[in-house]
């Protein structure tokens, strides 16, 4: 951390800043220039907030040298992380092909969709049992019964499964059924929930909040990592924009931007980012071209009957076509797509 003093800072003020730095177990390195005096703070700055020094008399600015998202940063871990989702590798040149319905609606429906997306090349099955809905009157999900269906269907088709948890009190339950736990956009800054999933070893799919900055996203990842769970996959799913032509604004630049700052894998979710089947394919391909470590797509075999997010669902045939294009692009980019482990039943 670097503390910059005001041009008229007095010796007493400078001494006071040095005393504060040293009282926190850090070392201070004073450098007096012609116009400005700066104090370099040497020590583990992750334990301190710039604001602690910013308020001292005579201080004009405090600059962090290292990012606050210490564990998520590239500096902590220069190689890209690879997250293993029950045998499916995500990151470091391995693409996740996550697909399935928005919500689990019943065993038969999920089984049919799973068979379709598996045949098309998906390697992780998704489906929500606890749905974050804007309206309390909208379909809320099947709860634990849905989790059981998801696990059984995933096992039948040999696909690891990812599902959302919204409540810290349900983490233990969701963890029993899921191979990967999703933290949805609305809960990206639910710090109690992040801490709870951080205390498991399950891979976590952390979706970017709809008004979260990239640094906010990395700080939320830091909550999980700092609890000892290194298995975090980030997800760009669109942020609030001003144009109602699409559901959200797909921030494709977030992919290379995250990679420039962090070793964590990042995937894209063009379904929630655009909310329009005709925009999902181009945005999925743009995400992969931008360096994404996977794509997360909602697929339904009868969107008109879907309990949630029907209008943005891709039909299985459209998903199959897109998955083929993603495979071609992946080959061009030298990326691989892990096959899911063989069916367990």
Q: Which does 184 bind (CB under 5 to 8 A by kind): ligand PEP, Mn ion, none?
A: ligand PEP
Binders of Mn ion in range 282-301 (CB under 5 A): none
Tokens representing 196?
A: 């709870």
Q: For the chain, how big is the Rg over CA atoms in Å? A: 23
153 vs 307 by CB, closer to Mn ion = 307
CB of 273 to ligand PEP, least distance (A): 8
Task: Tell me the per-residue interface mask from 251 to 290 with ligand PEP, x by CB under 6 A, - otherwise.
Answer: ------------------x--x------------------
Q: Tell whether residue 309 is a contact of Mn ion (CB under 5 A).
A: yes
- Which span sits near Mn ion by CB under 5 A: 96-104, 190-198, 200-208, 248-256? 96-104
Q: Which does 67 bind (CB under 5 to 8 A by kind): ligand PEP, Mn ion, none?
A: none
- Give per-residue burial for 193-224: e unless 16+ CB within 10 Å, then b: bbebbbebebbbbbbbbbebebeebbbbbbbb
What is d(CA 331, CA 328) in angstroms, rounded to the nearest whole number? 5
The encoded tokens of residue 150 equal 């998801």
Q: Nearer Cβ to Mn ion, position 293 or 309?
A: 309
**Distance (Å, whole) CA 79 – CA 90:** 14
Residues 151-190, interacting with ligand PEP (CB under 6 A) = 184-186
**Residue placing its CB nearer to Mn ion in the complex, 58 or 127:** 127
> Taking a C-beta distance cutoff of 8 angstroms, is the pair 165, 200 a contact?
no
Among ligand PEP, Mn ion, none, partner that 237 touches (CB below 5 to 8 angstroms by kind): ligand PEP
Q: Read off the tokens for 180.
A: 């990967």
Name the nearest CA neighbour of 281 among 144, 147, 99.
Answer: 99
Could you give the angle at which helices 214-226 and 191-198 cross, rounded to 10 degrees? 40
Q: Which helix (H) or strand (E) holds 245?
A: none
Neighbours of 311 (CB within 10 A): 11
Determine which residue in the list 102, 104, 313, 326 makes contact with ligand PEP, applying CB under 6 A.
102
Residue 207 in the binding site for ligand PEP (CB under 6 A): yes
Interacting positions 210-249 with ligand PEP (CB under 6 A): 237
- Distance CA(335)–CA(308), nearest Å, equals 32
Enter the tokens of residue 253: 């630049």
**308 close to 103: Cβ distance less than 8 angstroms:** yes
Which 121-140 residues touch ligand PEP, going by CB under 6 A? Answer: 128, 132
Return the range that interacts with Mn ion (CB under 5 A); candidates 93-101, 182-190, 257-265, 308-316. 308-316
Output the smallest distance, CB 240 to ligand PEP, in A. 12
Kindly report the number of other CB atoms within 10 A of residue 173's CB atom.
Answer: 16
Of these, 85, 88, 102, 285, which contacts Mn ion (CB under 5 A)? 102
Residue 109 touches which of Mn ion, ligand PEP, none (Cβ within 5-8 Å per kind): none
Contact 249, 221 (CB under 8 A): no
Q: Which stretch binds Mn ion (CB under 5 A): 34-42, 101-109, 241-249, 289-297?
A: 101-109
Binding footprint of ligand PEP on the chain (CB under 6 A): 102, 128, 132, 184-186, 207, 237, 269, 272
Binding footprint of Mn ion on the chain (CB under 5 A): 102, 309
């Amino acid at each position: 951390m670097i503390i910059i003093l005001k041009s008229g800072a007095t010796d007493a003020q400078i001494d006071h800043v040095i005393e504060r730095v040293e009282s926190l177990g850090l070392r201070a390195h004073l450098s007096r220039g012609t116009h400005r005096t700066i104090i370099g703070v040497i020590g583990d700055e992750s334990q301190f907030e710039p604001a602690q020094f910013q308020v001292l008399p005579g201080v004009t600015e405090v600059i962090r040298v290292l990012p606050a998202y210490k564990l998520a940063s590239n500096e902590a871990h220069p190689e890209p992380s690879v997250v293993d989702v029950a045998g499916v590798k995500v990151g470091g040149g391995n693409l996740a092909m996550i697909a399935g319905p928005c919500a689990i609606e019943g065993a038969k429906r999920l089984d049919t969709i799973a068979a379709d997306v598996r045949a098309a090349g998906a390697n992780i099955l998704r489906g929500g049992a606890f749905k974050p809905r804007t309206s309390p009157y909208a379909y809320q999900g099947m709860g634990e019964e849905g989790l059981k269906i998801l696990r059984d269907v995933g096992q039948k088709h040999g696909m690891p499964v990812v599902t959302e948890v919204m409540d810290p009190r349900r983490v233990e339950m969701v963890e029993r059924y899921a191979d990967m736990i999703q933290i949805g956009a609305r809960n990206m800054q639910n710090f109690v929930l992040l801490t709870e999933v951080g205390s498991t070893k399950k891979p976590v799919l952390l979706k970017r909040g709809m008004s979260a900055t990239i640094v906010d996203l990395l700080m939320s990842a830091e909550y999980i990592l700092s609890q000892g769970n290194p298995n975090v996959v980030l997800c760009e799913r669109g942020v609030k924009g001003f144009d109602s032509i699409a559901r959200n604004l797909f921030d494709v630049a977030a992919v290379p931007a995250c990679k420039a700052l962090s070793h964590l894998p990042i995937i894209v979710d063009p379904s929630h980012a655009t909310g329009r089947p005709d925009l999902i394919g181009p945005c999925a391909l743009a995400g992969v071209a931008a360096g994404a470590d996977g794509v997360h797509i909602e697929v339904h075999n009868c969107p008109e009957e879907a309990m949630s997010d029907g209008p943005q669902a891709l039909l299985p045939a459209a998903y199959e076509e897109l998955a083929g294009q993603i495979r071609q692009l992946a080959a061009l980019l030298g990326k691989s797509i892990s096959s899911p482990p063989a069916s367990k039943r």
